[in-house]
Chains A and B, each alone.
Chain A
Amino acid sequence: MRDFLKRHQIPLLITLLILVVLLVYSANLRKKTTTTLFERAVLTLTEPLQQGIHGIGSSIYDLWNNYLSLVDTRQQNITLIKMNRELRAKLVAVKEIQLENQRLKKLLDFVKADPRQVLPALVVAEDASSWARTIVIDKGLNHGVHEGQSVVVAEGVVGRVIKVAGNSSRVLLVTDASSSVAGLVQRTRTRGVARGNGVHLTLEFALRSDPVKRDDLVVTSGMGGVFPKGLVVGRVAAVHRDAFGLFQRIDLIPAVDFSRLEEVLVLLETEP
């Protein structure tokens, strides 16, 4: 018996250990939620080690991911920056189209409301000098444009065509110093001549006795045969009445913002 035990002591010991462990296991099966003293001791001892190792592991992981394993990141970054730039450009283009759409819609409403035949045109250039106020549009003789035709936008009168080429024309703005428009104050029916002074207009020869007030609307009177009747010229900004004289001088703010002129309409039949 002793010989047998001696000869097979290792397998027997292992079997015995397995049996003990099995017994412990089966005994603990019923108390799954109970932490044994052994478990608690081991957990308490290993906890700092675990945390330390976890910290080191995390640092190594971060180091690898954030600094060493960045083979594609630069390329990705370049691609993303490019995409971002393209998207921004598209956004600007969309915004531009949106604004253009708004402006064209306003012009379209004006065209629908006006029975006259009109030709839409784009403003392509401005005057080469600092004192003259003219613009160049992209429609000319080939499109039926002639000298003397009126040019308008939805807000009001822009000017009249003074030079025409095949595919472009030059328009003298109402704000030019050499431009004069026969106008009348809508409320009082006071007639006058609106002359440009570079930025604004001045209504001259308006009878002094007429009670023109600030913010009164001035429209074209149709006299003179250049501009059709009823187009908005501007609003009264100030009225100057001297102590004597026949006329009063009226400062007008043009209805059209000439610094933001992009699309205009040429009135092909300018019959007053």
Chain B
Amino acid sequence: MKGMVLHLLCGLIFMLFQTAISPHFLQPGMRPNLLLILVIYLGLSESFLRAAFLTLLLGVLQDVFSGATLGLYATVQLTVFLLVRIFSDHLNIESRPLLLGLVGAGTVLQALLLGFLLTTFAEAGSVLSILLSDLPSQVVFNLLAGWGLLVFLLKLQPLLGTRQGMAGLSHQSKHHGA
């Protein structure tokens, strides 16, 4: 329960950063999607049900702060989470480059899903061209943000403690099988 509240609080802080702080410094296409990084991290680190529930809540939270329709990001984030979850069993989640690779792939997947849903279910006009034109910068800035958050997480690791299966934290392997 404590972990869930912590993740939700983290998501809320990320949302506030994305809506109130980053617009002062970055153009729309350059603002990293921190919640997507959190969802990918949850997909790799947490138990299935817990992570799915958290992803749903984070998606709804993003819907509140973005766009005009509730449920769009909830759908997209859950789909991204499920795909990450399917592949995570075949991946070495302790690898940091892999985590960053997943952030890049997740960004592309999210843009495609958003484009598909908005053009199929809503009359969203030229949204696909906006999404595609912003995609390269979005990938770069999401990767940078992912790398920054990973470095921050590594600094926080002594406080968080060691737990098996935390994505990107390689020395967790010492505890594997213990």
Task: List residues of chain A with CB under 8 Å of any chain B CB.
Answer: 124-134, 136, 162-163, 172, 176-178, 180, 195-198, 202
The complex places the Cα of A134 from the Cα of B66 at a distance, in Å, of: 7
B127, CB-defined interface residue at 8 Å? yes
Asked if A178 meets B65 with Cβ closer than 8 Å, knowing A124-B20, A128-B15, A130-B33, the reply is no
Whether B67 lies near A132 (C-beta < 8 A) is yes
Whether A127 lies near B124 (C-beta < 8 A) is no
In whole Å, how far is B73's beta carbon from the nearest beta carbon of chain A? 8
Asked if A134 meets B68 with Cβ closer than 8 Å, knowing A126-B19, A128-B18, the reply is yes
Contact partner of A130 among B31, B62, B118, CB < 8 A?
B31
B60, CB-defined interface residue at 8 Å? no
The complex places the Cα of A214 from the Cα of B76 at a distance, in Å, of: 41
- The residue in chain B whose Cβ has the minimal distance to the Cβ of A172 is B68
B125, CB-defined interface residue at 8 Å? yes
Chain A residue numbers with a CB within 8 Å of B65 are: 125, 127-128
B29, CB-defined interface residue at 8 Å? yes
Chain A residue numbers with a CB within 8 Å of B122 are: 178
Report B15-63 residues with CB < 8 Å from chain A CB: 15, 18-20, 23, 28-31, 33, 35, 62
B86, CB-defined interface residue at 8 Å? no
The complex places the Cα of A126 from the Cα of B21 at a distance, in Å, of: 9
In whole Å, how far is A132's beta carbon from the nearest beta carbon of chain B? 4
In whole Å, how far is A162's beta carbon from the nearest beta carbon of chain B? 5
Whether B134 lies near A195 (C-beta < 8 A) is no
The complex places the Cα of A162 from the Cα of B66 at a distance, in Å, of: 12
The complex places the Cα of A130 from the Cα of B134 at a distance, in Å, of: 8
Chain A residue numbers with a CB within 8 Å of B28 are: 126-127, 130-131, 133, 198
Chain B residue numbers with a CB within 8 Å of A172 are: 68
Most chain B CB neighbours (cut-off 10 Å) among A124, A125, A172, A180: A125
Chain A residue numbers with a CB within 8 Å of B149 are: none
What bracket does the count of chain B residues touching chain A fall in?
Answer: 20 to 34
In whole Å, how far is B61's beta carbon from the nearest beta carbon of chain A? 9
The complex places the Cα of A130 from the Cα of B67 at a distance, in Å, of: 10
Chain A residue numbers with a CB within 8 Å of B130 are: 130-131, 177, 197-198
- The residue in chain B whose Cβ has the minimal distance to the Cβ of A136 is B19
The complex places the Cα of A131 from the Cα of B62 at a distance, in Å, of: 13
14 contacts between A and B (CB under 8 A): A124-B20, A126-B23, A128-B62, A129-B67, A130-B29, A130-B33, A131-B127, A133-B28, A134-B66, A162-B68, A177-B118, A196-B125, A197-B125, A197-B129
In whole Å, how far is A181's beta carbon from the nearest beta carbon of chain B? 12
In whole Å, how far is A166's beta carbon from the nearest beta carbon of chain B? 14
Report B120-151 residues with CB < 8 Å from chain A CB: 122-127, 129-131, 134, 138
Chain A residue numbers with a CB within 8 Å of B127 are: 131, 177-178
The complex places the Cα of A128 from the Cα of B34 at a distance, in Å, of: 10
Asked if A195 meets B125 with Cβ closer than 8 Å, knowing A125-B23, A130-B138, the reply is yes
The complex places the Cα of A179 from the Cα of B67 at a distance, in Å, of: 11
Whether A178 lies near B125 (C-beta < 8 A) is yes
Whether B114 lies near A131 (C-beta < 8 A) is yes
In whole Å, how far is A99's beta carbon from the nearest beta carbon of chain B? 16
The complex places the Cα of A131 from the Cα of B134 at a distance, in Å, of: 8
Closest 3 A-B residue pairs measured CB to CB?
Answer: A128-B66, A177-B127, A126-B23
In whole Å, how far is B68's beta carbon from the nearest beta carbon of chain A? 5
Chain A residue numbers with a CB within 8 Å of B131 are: 130-131
Whether A128 lies near B19 (C-beta < 8 A) is yes
Whether A177 lies near B124 (C-beta < 8 A) is yes
Contact partner of B33 among A129, A132, A162, A196, CB < 8 A?
A129
